[in-house]
Amino acid sequence: MRNGIAKRQEALDQADLVAGNGLMSRRALLTAGGRMTVAAAAGGMSALAVSRSAAAEALSVPPSMTVPGAPMSGYGQPSPYEEAVQRGVLKPYGDLAPGTGVSMTPLQHLAGTITPNGLHFERHHNGVPSIDPETHKLLVHGLVKQNLIFTVNDLLRYPMTSRTCFLECSGNSFFNSFPKPMQMPCGMIHGLISGTEWTGIPLATLLDEAGVDPKGKWILAEGADSAGMSRSVPLDKVLDDCLLALYQNGERLRPEQGYPMRLLVPGWEGNMNVKWLHRIKVTEGPTETKDETSKYTDLQPDGIARQFTFPMGVKSVITHPSAGLAMQGPGFYEVSGLAWSGHGTIAKVEVSADGGNSWAEAALQEPVMSMMLVRFRLPWRWDGSLSRLMSRAVDDQGNVQPSHEAWAKQYATGPAGNLYHCNAVQTWEITAEGEIANVYV
Amino acid sequence: MSMSKRALATAGLVLALSSVSARSEPQLGQPISDADIAAWDISIPPSGEGLPPGSGTFAEGRDVYAQSCLRCHGEGAAGKPADALVGGQGSLSTDAPQKTVGSYWPYATTLFDYIRRAMPLESPRSLSDKDVYAVTAYILGLNGIIPEDAVMDAASLPDVQMPNRDSFVSWYPSPPR
């Protein structure tokens, strides 16, 4: 009898397998609408049954139910039990330039697609300025009928719009451009990415008010920080979908994100989304600033550098399981991760658990939006053996995320080789001991 | 009755008017003259448009460098603890490319623009325009891009030919075929 049930369960489980090394049908998790199906629920439960442990202990009354809780507060904070969830800070020049560097979002500890404001990655070129919104001003000038200057209070009165999109530093995943894979948590490799609802004013409104000269084809956007961070952006993109962002996930921008205002350039290099924005100059051509010539250009092996490679390429990374987390023994896991494309909308994410020998399509969590992070999921039964997990995204423009090898051979290597636009497939190797390592396949 | 009809009609008129003028409302930008934005208008494109009066030489630049740059960029701008500003010419297509002002930067105007806006790191905007011209001349001279007796000013700087000028390919609006 018992043997019969086990056999039946095994048959059910086999029916759910869609690719090598234990990957199960995405139907076992989600339908397109995000609801579990009846058949899939059964499949999921049978998977859980495999790893069910001994009976639980008898319950006692939780102490939290026996005393009054803490009172209200003016601004809420994460649970003290989540204190370890922190951005990872890198200061390449150390104390010489403490405000130059990055802090990276701990992707392996987050779920969903919206990045909490306090964990949004940072990339600063000379620190976070302290800016009083009463004195900050935005100047629009150059090839316009009339130079205009706006106060923050003026700008808060304009009609606004919201855009939920990803923001990725062009140097995200730069560790994976190194010749040998670096061993560090997922977020330290891929954490220069965020998903945020930004609210602000279409830049077209302000440029329209100033009256753009037909000779104007680009803008120069400049920050009010001590790096005077400046980038050129084509006017076509500016008028199409760029925002002067004032709000981040509902609240005013954090200082690290450009308070009181930043440029939002959906889908394009994070560096172009100039923080602490205080000047927009309409120009005929690109200004060729330091950050669009000596930096944020992509050196090829032949010594030629790609310039103005604006959209961030189609990309995905598995965040669960990933480096920085530990496996908890063989059995059921939900493989999940993030996918995005600066060229459009994610069409498909495939997952492999056998190092790329076989692939299965993951479920995409709705809503799937253009130039926004998408959460993908696929159930997996880990048998406890050495496994290689990979994900590969495809967007609606037909762009396919490249393998590590295909990505790397486009670019110069070495310490001053190319660090930008690394959208190579990430492979996590899971050992029989349950450790998770970064490997190149 | 007639009152409310009139109110409705008025409301309709207001709606119609506001939809006509909504395109660029609320028009709160304040006009400001070119003279009054001079302190902010510091970006310099390759044409050199906007370069300020003044000039500087290699010899003058050596003094500025010793005082304001040496601590981070090292003797002869060879780098350490911060980035090297000289050397690396001819290295970009090798296995160990070295990106410096001399080997990589395509425009001399960018050097002036960047030093003026962002350097020295602990006190940006503290150098005079003359000092910026001078230290620009010093770094270009160390790289052998201009002779040591060259004078850098608004006329000469945009004419400097950087060695790597033609090694950038624009991927906007689309990658080259």
Residue A358 belongs to a domain: yes
What pLDDT band is residue A16 in, cutting at 50, 70 and 90?
Answer: confident
**Model confidence at B9, in pLDDT bands (50, 70, 90)?**
very low
Same domain, A129 and A194: yes
Crossing angle for the helix pair B108-118 and B129-142, to the nearest 10 degrees: 130
Q: Say whether both A358 and A391 belong to one domain.
A: yes
Q: Which domain holds residue A189?
A: 119-296
Residue in A94, A310, A414 closest to B97 by CB:
A414
User: Is there a single domain that holds both residue A237 and residue A357?
Assistant: no
**A293–B168: do the CB atoms touch at under 8 Å?**
yes
| Cβ proximity of A428 and A438 under 8 Å | yes
Tell whether the model's pLDDT for residue B51 goes beyond 80. Answer: yes
Nearest to A305 among B30, B44, B168 (CB): B168
Q: What is the ipTM of this complex?
A: 0.90
Chain B contact for A343 (CB, 8 A cutoff): no
pLDDT bin (cut points 50, 70, 90) of residue B1 is: very low
A417 touches chain B (CB under 8 A): yes
Q: Hey, is the C-beta of A434 within 8 angstroms of any chain B C-beta?
A: no
Q: Choose the closest CB to A288 out of B28, B46, B169.
A: B46
Answer whether A234 touches B (CB < 8 Å).
Answer: yes
Are A281 and A345 in a shared domain? no
Instruction: Say yes or no: A92 contacts chain B, CB-CB below 8 A.
Output: no
**Residues A260 and A371 both lie in one domain:** no
Q: A113 to chain B, minimum CA–CA distance in Å?
A: 29
B107 → chain A, closest CA residue:
A288
Q: Which of A104, A101, A80 is nearest to A91 (CA)?
A: A101
* pLDDT in the model for residue B24: 61
- Predicted local distance difference test score (pLDDT) of residue A54: 81
Q: Is residue A63 part of a domain?
A: no
Minimal CA separation from A32 to chain B, in Å? 34
Question: What DSSP character marks residue B44?
Answer: -
If asked whether residues A210 and A319 sit together in one domain, one would say no
Q: Check CB contact of A297 with chain B, cutoff 8 Å.
A: yes
Indicate the residue of A96, A140, A290 with minimum beta-carbon distance to B29: A140
Q: Compute the average pLDDT of residues B54-76.
A: 98
Provide mean pLDDT across the span A255-278: 98
Q: What angle do CA B49, B167, B57 make, to 5 degrees?
A: 45
Closest CA to A416 of B78, B88, B73, B81: B88
Strands A262-264 and A23-24: unpaired
Range with lowest mean pLDDT among A22-26, A150-154, A173-177, B143-147: A22-26
Q: Is the pLDDT of residue A74 over 50?
A: yes
Q: Which contiguous run of DSSP H or E holds residue B6?
A: helix B2-21
Q: Cβ–Cβ contacts within 10 Å for residue B73, how many?
A: 22
Parse chain B into domains and list their residue ranges.
54-167
- Measured in angstroms, the CA of A320 and the nearest CA of chain B are apart by 35
- Rounded mean pLDDT of B17-22? 44
Instruction: Say yes or no: A326 and A427 in one domain.
Output: yes
- Find the residue in B nearest to A225 (Cα): B118
A239 with A291, same domain: the answer is yes
Domain B54-167 in this protein, CATH class? mainly alpha
What is the structure's pLDDT at A203? 98
Q: Is the pLDDT of residue B11 over 60?
A: no
Same-domain pairing of A129 and A222: yes
Q: Mind telling me how many Å the CA of B154 is from chain A's nearest CA? A: 16
A10 in a structural domain: no
The pLDDT assigned to A88 comes to 98
- Provide the b/e sequence for A313-328 (b: ≥16 CB within 10 Å): bbbbbbbbbbbbbebe
**CATH number, domain at A404?**
2.60.40.650
Note which residues in 155-184 of chain A have CB less than 8 A from chain B: 155, 157-159
**Is A287 an 8 Å CB contact of chain B?**
yes
pLDDT for A26:
84
Nearest of B89, B131, B136 to residue B108 by alpha carbon = B136
Contact A288 B45 (CB under 8 A): yes
Q: Within a domain: residue A32?
A: no
Taking an 8 Å cut-off on Cβ atoms, the answer to whether A205 and B24 are in contact is yes
Contact A220, A283 (CB under 8 A): yes
Residue A113 is assigned to a structural domain of this protein: no
Residue with more model confidence, A413 or A314: A314
Provide the pLDDT for residue A39.
Answer: 33
Interface check A96 vs B, CB under 8 A: yes
**CA dist A217 → A249, A387, B104 (Å):** 31, 51, 26
Q: Is A227 on the interface with B (CB under 8 A)?
A: yes
Of the candidates A93, A220, A302, which has its C-beta nearest B82's C-beta?
A: A93
User: Given B43, B170, B171, which is nearest A281 (Cβ)?
Assistant: B43
Confidence label for A32 from pLDDT (cuts 50, 70 and 90): very low
Binary contact (B72, A154; C-beta < 8 A):
no
Q: Which residues of B touch A149 (CB under 8 A)?
A: 29-30, 32, 37
Q: How far apart are CA A315 and CA A404, in angstroms?
A: 12
Beta-carbon separation of A289 and B95 below 8 A: no
Residue of A290, A297, A302 with shortest CB distance to B168: A297
Q: Does A155 reside within a domain?
A: yes
The model's confidence at residue A89, banded by pLDDT at 50, 70 and 90, is very high
CA distance B24 to chain A (A): 6
Q: How far is B124 from chain A (nearest CA, A)?
A: 6
How much is the average pLDDT of A55-71?
Answer: 97
**Are residues A284 and A137 part of one domain?**
yes
Evaluate whether residue A34 is within a structural domain. no
Q: How confident is the model at residue A3 (pLDDT cuts 50, 70, 90)?
A: low
pLDDT digits (tens, 9 = 90+) for A380-438: 999 999 999 999 999 999 999 999 999 999 999 877 799 999 999 999 999 999 999 99
Mean of pLDDT values over A318-340: 98
Which of A140, A289, A306, A310 should be substituted to probe chain B, the one whose Cβ sees the most B Cβ atoms within 10 Å? A289
Among A179, A197, A172, A210, residue whose Cα is nearest residue A316: A172
Does A79 reside within a domain?
Answer: no
Domain CATH number, residue A262: 3.90.420.10
Mean confidence (pLDDT) of chain A: 93
* Total domains present in chain A: 2
Whether A33 shows a pLDDT value over 70: the answer reads no
**Nearest-neighbour CA in chain B from A158: distance (Å):** 6
Rounded CA gap, B57 and A220, in Å?
Answer: 29
Cis, bond preceding A159 (omega within 30 deg of 0): no
A304/B32 touch (CB, cutoff 8 Å), yes or no: no
The model's confidence at residue A359, banded by pLDDT at 50, 70 and 90, is very high
Choose among A234, A289, A416: nearest Cβ to B98: A416
| Joined tokens for residue A405 | 């090898």
User: CA-to-CA distance for A413 and A433, rounded, in angstroms?
Assistant: 33
State phi, psi for B152 to the nearest 5 degrees. -95, 125
